[in-house]
Amino acid sequence: MTTRHFFFATAFSIAAIAPLAAPIARAQEAASAVPEVANGRRSLIGKINSNAVYIRSGPGDNYYPTTKLDLGAEVTVVGEKPEWLKIAPPEGSFSYVGKNYIEKNADGTGTVIKEEVNVRTGSTLNAMKTSIQTKLERGAKVQIVDEKDDYYLIKPPADAYVYVSKQYVDPVREAIAQQPAGAGTGQTPVTGDPKLLRESQNSEIAGTKGDDSTGAGPTTLPTREQVASARPSTQPSVDVQFDTLEAQFAATSGQKIEEQPVKELLGSYQKLLADPALPESMKRVADFRVRALTARNESKEQIATVQKMQEEAKKRQVALKAEQEEIAQQIKKNNVTLYAAVGTLRTSSVQNDKTTLYRLTDPETGRTVVYIRSSDPKYATLLGKFIGVKGEITTEQALSMKVVNPTDVAEVAQTEVFKSVGAQIVPPSILPQAAQQASTGNQ
């Protein structure tokens, strides 16, 4: 048994042998009622020994948290259940009571108008209100501090309590006397000589084991060194981790999905779910977060894939544009004139339209390389000459040949082809030797 157990056991063991203040039947509460923990005859002042310690609506990790206290905060302990301390609600605590059971007065107070009205534990951390702290009789007065939906938020009544894990509280001193139930933290503690407190405790308390105590213990208060040696080296951080993750989840959910740290949050929640110390209520929330983050992660990966494809297409367009500009600059630099086709102009024996059909032929073989369709009389003056034709190249099914619909024509020097003259269609006989051989080999 640790020194912390000894301290609280000796302080509250009197409750185990004292007559029960309420009948046994009253302990058989509904499922939402908090188990009854008897008050000791004297109250103690304890100090929180870690940061972000949860105060809960009942003596167990499955009860929802009502607030958090940091290192050094003092609490007034009025009772004990193994591993849990029953404390007066800290500053800022509140309770819920149904509006239908309260008549609101002009001065901000309220009067209970029904019999045995349930008072539920309020929380500054969530909207839960399932734990029943106590009951109020008809005519009881309450102090209303706010309202929400169908409930009034009231200052905790006289016998309303909350709970904290014993491992996060170091004993400091004894209060003047047993604090009136639910009196909050306003009770003025005694700051007397610890030696006198120990002597007082020795003469008053017999270490007898009861239902709500940890059994017999020493009759002196432990030293601070003993308390420090009994304290766990590190505080289990599962609640703190959960709280931190929830804050991160809320803070990032408003961001664009591609900016959210989805994978990091997903991994953290999955790791938290694997921790057996995680309370069931938090497990349900964490499991929901994992499913939501898994869907977000899939969406984020799909968006990333689309963005990558768009970026690659954009890069290709930039590269193509740069290449086109480079070609244009080279053409301009070398004074190259581009044509749709070059060749020797000859007449065609095929005439099947109102426009005249000409042939551009290979100057060596006389074979047709492309047809020209035009009614412009200047083409007749260029017959037998090597020319270049600008215009759109199409394919006519009737001729099974390519046809140029010319926009311009000029006589060119055959020797300038591939130098200052370029063309899409060039007669095979004037192609460079390597290209000609490749062309011949492919036929």
223-259 residue pLDDT tens:
444 444 444 444 446 777 888 888 889 888 888 888 8
Mean pLDDT estimate for the chain: 79
The pLDDT, as a whole number, for residue 290 is 93
Residue 1 pLDDT grade (very low, low, confident, very high; cuts 50, 70, 90)? low
Calculate mean pLDDT across residues 203-208.
Answer: 34
Distance CA 235, CA 212 (A): 25
Residue with the bigger pLDDT between 6 and 92: it is 92
Residue 105 pLDDT grade (very low, low, confident, very high; cuts 50, 70, 90)? very high
3-23 residue pLDDT tens:
555 556 555 544 443 344 344
Burial of 37 (0-12, 13-18, 19+ CB in 10 A): buried
With a CB cutoff of 8 Å and minimum separation 6, the contacts of 51 are: 70, 71, 240
The pLDDT, as a whole number, for residue 84 is 92
Calculate mean pLDDT across residues 310-334.
Answer: 83
Calculate mean pLDDT across residues 142-159.
Answer: 93
Element (H, E) at 273: helix 262-273
Percent of the chain exceeding pLDDT 70 equals: 75
Calculate mean pLDDT across residues 134-154.
Answer: 93
Structure tokens that stand for 246 in this block? 């929830």
Q: Is 23 left (phi over 0), alpha (psi -120 to 50) or beta?
A: beta
Residue 55 pLDDT grade (very low, low, confident, very high; cuts 50, 70, 90)? very high
User: Does 435 score more than 70 pLDDT?
Assistant: no
Q: What is the pTM of this model?
A: 0.41
The pLDDT, as a whole number, for residue 441 is 52
